[in-house]
Amino acid sequence: MGTVFAIVLVFVGCCSNVVSLELLVREFPGCGNIVTFAQFLFIALEGFIFETKFGRKKPAIPVSNYVIMVTMFFTVSVINNYALNFNIAMPLHMIFRSGSLIANMILGIIILKKRYSASKYLSIALVSAGIFICTIMSAKQVVSPLPNMLHFLHCVTGIAMLTFALLMSARMGIFQETLYKQYGKHSKEALFYNHCLPLPGFLLLASDIYNHCIHFSQSTPVFVPVVGFSAPILWIYLLINVITQYVCIRGVFILTTECASLTVTLVVTLRKFLSLIFSIIYFHNPFTAWHWVGTAVVFLGTLLYTEVWSSVQAALRGADAKQQKKAE
């Protein structure tokens, strides 16, 4: 029951989060910083109340380790959202981030000296090729008021930011893996510190966040039936985004405590694919045949990495063996 509930949270929360983020980006393309700040603040407040019991509970992992993790997490979150300011379409943004599993593998080879099977290396090639195809096709389709050369540099900057965030996220995953081996798994505690400790860093972005608060407050007011008064539409979109982001993260956390890592990876991968398809259909984002090819290659590579085919075959063989025993 807990597993089904967690999967529902992941799919509903994350897909709704993508919709609310796209609505915000379409209304106000440069809103990445205020979105990130709102998400961090909400999750930090929730964790302060329910995880640390208003600061009374001591952390199981030393705070100094969380400071390192938080520096990486904060950098990844800000860069991922800020990349939207550089003519990065939402479908491309989602496809690019789906390569995180493979980025983790590459850094595992370099840093932890891990070795993998031939199928794992093939998955790297597939995901890299899929992301490259979608990147090139999306870069061609983005309409920009900038001159051609400036537009090209704008796109390259955005793609470079996504690449850096992808590798930094993978490095953070390896760091978390080593911490959990040493101190045990404390995912909810890590979730709180990852969102609480970076809050002072938003002072560097204070002027940008303040300006967006003013723009948000000046957006078209709409009537909210539940509370019985009108509110600016962008603040409503932001509230929906923050809540759905929390639901998504909570779902992933529950899933990690209920299921094997393979199941978690598969659910998250399928969620990304569903979010992508929903974004394309609902918002009529441009998606050519080459985009479909690139998307299919990315998810084929990711599924190959998680060894889903081997698991399905093993399950089928087990079912056949049980049927044969019953027949005997």
**Domain coordinates of the chain in residue numbers?**
3-298
User: What does the buried/exposed string (b/e) look like for 163-201 if buried means 16 or more CB atoms within 10 Å of the residue's CB?
Assistant: bebbbbbbbbbbbbeebeeeeeebeebbbbbbbbbbeee
Check pLDDT > 80 for residue 10.
yes
Return the axis-axis angle of helices 233-258 and 261-283, rounded to nearest 10°.
160
Residues contacting residue 282 through CB under 8 Å, at least 6 positions apart: 19
First to last CA, the chain: 34
What contacts 24+ positions apart, CB below 8 Å, involve 108-113?
108/174, 111/171, 111/174, 112/174
pLDDT number for residue 132: 74
Check pLDDT > 80 for residue 57.
yes
Residues contacting residue 265 through CB under 8 Å, at least 6 positions apart: 101, 306
Band of residue 165 on the pLDDT scale cut at 50, 70, 90? confident
CA dihedral 246, 251, 256, 261 (to 10 degrees): -110
Q: pTM for the complete prediction?
A: 0.71
Q: What is the mean pLDDT of the chain?
A: 80
Average pLDDT over residues 71-100: 75
Check pLDDT > 80 for residue 292.
yes
Check pLDDT > 70 for residue 97.
no
Check pLDDT > 60 for residue 2.
yes
Residue of 92 and 171 predicted with greater confidence:
171
Residue of 115 and 311 predicted with greater confidence:
115
In this structure, which amino acid lies at residue 281?
I
pLDDT tens by residue, 12-40: 888 788 888 888 988 887 788 899 899 99
Residue whose structure tokens are 């959990």: 180
Structure tokens of 16? 């709704």
Residue whose structure tokens are 């759905």: 244
- In angstroms, the CA 69 to CA 61 distance is 11
For residue 292, how many other CB atoms are within 10 A of its CB?
Answer: 14
